[in-house]
Amino acid sequence: MAKLNYFGRTDPGLIRSNNEDAFLIKPDIGFCLVADGVGGASAGEIASRIFVETALEVFSAERDQSENKTLERIKKAFRFAHERILKYVEQNPQYDGMACTAELIAFHEQGFASGHIGDSRTYRVRNGQLKQLTRDHSLVQYQIDQGMITPDDAKEHSFRNVIFQAVGMKDNLSLDILKGKTYPGDLFLLCSDGLTDMIDDSLIGQVLFSGFGLPRKTEKLLEMAKSAGGRDNITVVIAEIL
């Protein structure tokens, strides 16, 4: 497995008093994640925490670095977290509707694999190009795909926070799995929508292309999202292939 450098931070933003986002970086196991709680009150925080704890449990149980085993662990982490959130709501009906969006990327002997659900995102920087690897499971993304609105329209859409999929939603779990090779110099950005709702990809790219170290890049993205309004919790995790 390639050597990696990681950094991450989360911030409640300027409007909300609580932070329903969570992140985890585990260099010794070779994975990191971002979760963004859905459901209001403290419910979103609980869903995010369940996802983090479940993923850590699954990835700590076995260290096989093959691609197939890594993919199995990603699927298992999402499936187990989904089941645990549903069970928690069954036992605590006052939290009905709680769930979380999630990004999880793991590195193995052949490259990387990731799981995605919701409207948090994973990006990659390679050879000076920023690419969004994930596709939002959201109403506005569906309307963009159908030609009903433009990406600019989506930024101010009154239903921009409506999502179709999340870990813990009562529908069947629909998980996007991505995989690919890694090369020295690759950067992977995992973030909640508190970042991407506030600043566009061109500004994100400027920061990631800069010569700053990972801590400064992370801080700069948080600062820019807050300067643009900071309407939501903001979480940023960056992984760099050395």
Q: Where are the domains of the chain?
A: 4-241
For the question of whether the overall pTM of this predicted structure is more than 0.85, the answer is yes
Angle at 123 between CA 115 and CA 215, to 5 degrees: 110
Nearest to 140 by CA among 122, 163, 116: 163
- Token couple for 88: 């928690």
Rounded Cα–Cα distance for residues 195 and 103 (Å): 14
Q: Backbone phi, then psi, for 33, in 5-degree steps?
A: -155, 160
CB atoms under 10 Å from CB of 77, counted, come to 26
Cα separation of the two ends of the chain:
11
* Class of domain 4-241 (CATH, top level): alpha beta
Predicted confidence pLDDT, tens digits, the chain (242 residues): 779 999 999 999 999 989 999 999 999 999 999 999 997 666 899 999 999 999 999 999 988 889 999 999 999 999 999 999 999 999 999 999 999 999 999 999 889 999 999 999 999 999 999 999 999 986 676 676 667 776 665 566 556 667 889 999 987 798 999 999 999 999 999 999 999 999 999 999 999 999 999 999 999 999 999 999 999 999 999 999 99
**How far, in Å, are 8, 96, 108, 145, 208 from residue 239 at the CA level?**
9, 34, 14, 29, 11
Q: Tally the C-alpha atoms within 13 A of residue 159's C-alpha that lie toward its C-beta.
A: 12
DSSP run (H or E) holding 71 = helix 67-91
- Token couple for 67: 């691609």
Angle between helices 67-91 and 43-61 (to 10 degrees): 140
